Structure 1
């Protein structure tokens, strides 16, 4: 993205909307935008046409207008409220509003000329119907993200939470709970513990199977396809791959580092049993394992709470999405969306590293 535009926009604005605003407000050509995004111009053109159709929505059009003033430098409305709130504050505000909208019969009311919206809860004929004031900027953000939908053609428009909004609410709640755990335990300790605890976890699972009389479980590393490889065959509504090859490579790299760290720990323990007293250990494999462990630890910290859980389970432990969703308490079919976000962050994390550090081992 252009250096002149990116700093002006809040973190929640997707890249396709940034490109749209650069084209419509700054006059940047589609070909130049495609070159910057490393994609075909037709891809950018489809995005621009799709976003033009989005502007039929009252809230989305309001969000685009506010962002356009920032891109063009006019800043006529001063895009206030939640548009430029910190990530933590914005997440808390979104979770509070989505929690209310997730209740039965809750509806968000907005209209042209209104400074704020309102959430109504209860039946329409209920004289004691609750009413909660909502910042228009927060409602616009949720509409852009697809968390709420509705609209209409009259002066008063009604919006309700969407399935994507319920998924976003579940992720926000999971992130908040995970952040609380990480803060109490320490990020580094949590990440390292997740890596080094695989052997103990596998041993516990084998013990449970033995106690239940089940046969030995086939190692997941022997399967022909990983969860990422299966997901990479899926496509979205536009026919584009659900996971790009770069995302899959980032997930596979995390798994390779994870396995390398585990192998090093295992070999060092085995060597300690046969090493003569007073003999110094060989540092070659130990150093390689330590570096791999550091890379995994840094990747987990880059992902943060919530995203690191799904990445560790699906990329490293090779758990299926259904099992991961159940263990994490997420709604059905939410795991693949959160995993895609985690892989995007993981790809960005690896992309920032020097080329020499992108090599395994």
Structure 2
């Protein structure tokens, strides 16, 4: 389908101008000067963009992403239409669910030591981190198409040589996009002219925290020198967090998950994200019940620290981490009993 003003149909709205210029020039044969005049930039700028994209085709995600965009690119249009064309339409907005999914992956990649790993000819990629003892711990999984989108937008870049399993890290541009998408933190209390209460931090502010309680506690050792939280317990908590973040994508993002702690929810365990994630999360919280479920929800999902949790629950100091370990033990048994569920890590 081709609009009457000559704009090529098919390219998603998230496509950056450099990628759009490359596709229109290479696939559509549009002259460099026409693209430059349309975007109100110098022709050398467009030429540099085209050459940079061509040099990045050694990156498997970039190359696959460009091929995917080429397939949805419209048919050629005449040079006369190209020469008289002026792009009066902005890009189509990307679906909110896709943008939220991209930000979810960026949040996990912003954590220390996190890399995105994608294997050749695999439809699913994963965000990994090296856990205690050198074992790989999975933080999130995503479709390969989303990983290609992140690479084309310049939010992730390959780390070293790309072999059978390519590894990517978040870029400065990706961190900037993540910060721009997060809500502004509330003003610090105590400096305003009027008295203000201590408002709880929003979920968005908590979600951008680089290291959560699980990561910090996993580094601690007990009296015998063993990790305070075993790898299996950290994996169970990370799985709960992944389902929580997936459940926030799409409708009902402001859902109050604390109501599932009473056991009166529909604990559906099937389906895909985000509806399947809601079912898995509801089932896990219902199984944990009040108390343990509240601790797991606040520490693993809301990323509340131990001191904040202990004050909120009215517990003595240093007791929260013990209750959290008990909750993670129960959560691990819950996931072990799920049919068809794969553990993270």
TM-score by length of 1: 0.42
TM-score by length of 2: 0.44
Which structure carries more helix by proportion? 1
